[in-house]
Structure 1
Amino acid sequence: MAVKKASVRDQVRRTLTERILAGHYQPGERLIELQIARELGTSQGSVREALRELEATHLVETTPHRGTRVRIVGVPEIREAYAARGLLEQAAATTAAAAFVNGVDELRAEVACILRAADAKDYPDQAAHVYTLHRMIVAASGNATLLRLWESLAFETWVRIRLGWGEINRKVAETSYARILAALERGDGVAAGQLLREHAEAFAPPAEPTPVSGA
């Protein structure tokens, strides 16, 4: 797949982000600049710049003599990320709700995809739709800074679903999302925000002492 010359770095960054969140690259897997550059038909320098940006958002990490790898996170870190994500979504919902008054069809379609993927135990697909749904809500707030902060926590969400914790209580999830969408549809940002925060807290992984590894 060749990458167009315009905004090469941004396109490489988006492609790598999508691959990481889709499970194409596993936690702990090394990302080789030259190999990626050849795959994307771009320069090694563009890949290096993109990886630096991904490191700033904590998707990857670079260590001496080991190169750049997809980050491995532990349970406490994931739990903290879920708590932070809940607070960000609560803040976003207060202004985002106005965008969904009488118009939550796209959100409802994403919820259906989440539940269908969960039933099929297709965790990569489930994670992708969870990301899309919640990002749509945060983006609707119109607050670019809030969205950037939220996106920096996307990897922890992906790890929680992708690596062994994908199974959810379907009834609880379905009910939770139904209440969130109902609040958004009636323009009640305060209620929607509280429900989103409670949702994040409810679906955070249980506390465990052992780290999560993608190996």
Structure 2
Amino acid sequence: MGINRQSMSDRIRAVLEQRIIDGTLPPGSRLLELEIAKEFNTSQTPVREALESLHSLRLVESERYRGTYVRAITDREMDEAYSVRGALEQLAAELAAPKLKGNVSELREILQNLHSAAADGDTHGYALHNDEFHRAIVDASDNTLLIEAWQSLGFEARVRIHLSRRHEPHLVARAAEHDPAVDALEQGDGATAGRFLREHAELCRLRWKQRHLEGRETAIPHGDALPVPATVLS
């Protein structure tokens, strides 16, 4: 019975997560336990478990009197999240370098999958392998607090939302940004690997900001245009 309930909870979570990511459930949408339970022909218990999982991914929020609803990811939140991610991954690379020196076969395999997804234009696969890549480096740091802090940022969902709602013509170039960090880690050079990862996070931060400015169709005076390195758009 417990296994069936957990399977139903996973199924509900997966369906709701996809609806949030593809925009079927836009920010502000209320998620009513009774309605969801009726849709999936189940009790409210697995629905509640699914919503808790989505809450841990920072995809939904719950407020008294308002209930549970889909979160909006603000520009400020993404700006801050990428800055924190860059700092955490820089430290993670420095700590992981001794362990990964001459031992990056797993990272190379993940990276190859990332490149393949990028070449195929598979944004879903790209997001999954991207998360797997960064997670592998963070896990190799063997620092529990660092790992927990990094996980709390929930970047797999963030990247999937970004890629599913905006055409990304430069996935191959984005995948290539990960290569130098692996080369440095293979040499045991944590300082260089960390610098590459922090620079990658900064490029992602600038890309997000630029895309959202374009998405709003904001008229920015020529002299006030957001400075974006050429590599961001290549």
TM-score of the pair, normalised by structure 2: 0.69
Q: Rate the CA distance shift 1:70–1:111 in 2: closer, same or farther, 3 A.
A: farther
Quote how far apart the aligned CAs of 1:101 are: 1.4
Q: How many residues align?
A: 205
Shift of 1:125: 1.1
Letter in 2 for 1:73: I
Q: Which amino acid aligns with 2:182?
A: L
Distance 1:24 1:45 in 2: 20
Deviations 1:12-57 (A, max 9, x none): 579837973xx3643536555464699698x634642563464355
Is the CA contact 1:37–1:47 (under 8 Å) kept in the aligned structure 2? no
Aligned to 1:194: 195
Q: Residue 163 and residue 144 in structure 1: after superposition, are their counterparts in 2 closer, same or farther (change >3 A)?
A: farther
Call closer, same or farther: CA 1:94–1:62 in 2, change over 3 Å.
same
User: Percent identical across equivalent pairs?
Assistant: 34
* Contact 1:75 1:210 survives alignment (8 Å): no
Residue 100 of structure 1 aligns with an amino acid whose one-letter code is L
CA shift digits 1:93-121 (9 cap, x unpaired): 11112221112122112222222222222
Q: Does 1:168 align with 2:170?
A: yes
Task: State TM-score, norm by structure 1.
Answer: 0.74
Q: What are the ranges of 5 or more consecutive residues in structure 2 without an aligned counterpart?
A: 217-234
- The equivalent of 1:117 in structure 2 is 117
Cα gap change, 1:16/1:76 in structure 2, threshold over 3 Å: closer, same or farther? Answer: same
Q: Which amino acid aligns with 2:93?
A: A
Per the alignment, residue 206 of structure 1 pairs with 209
Question: Unpaired segments of 5 or more residues in structure 1?
Answer: none
Corresponding residue for 1:4?
3
- Is the contact between residue 118 and residue 166 of structure 1 (CA under 8 Å) also seen in structure 2? no
8 Å CA contact 2:12–2:50 kept in 1: the answer is no
**1:127–1:157 CA contact under 8 A, matched in 2:** yes
Structure 1 residue 3 displacement after superposition: 5.7
Please tell me whether Structure 1 or Structure 2 has the larger radius of gyration of its CA atoms. Answer: 2
The structure with the greater share of residues assigned to helix is 2
Residue identity in the other structure for 2:3 = K
- 2:232 alignment counterpart: none
Distance 1:145 1:62, change over 3 A: same
CA deviations 1:158-181 (Å, max 9, x no partner) are 32333215433634641x322100
Match of 2:161 among 159, 162, 174: 159
Residue 74 of structure 1, CA deviation: 3.0
> How does 1:69-148 map onto structure 2 within 5 Å?
69-148=69-148
Please give the secondary structure, in 2, of the residue aligned with 1:180.
helix
Q: Are the equivalent residues in 1 in contact too, given 2:12–2:47 (CA < 8 A)?
A: no
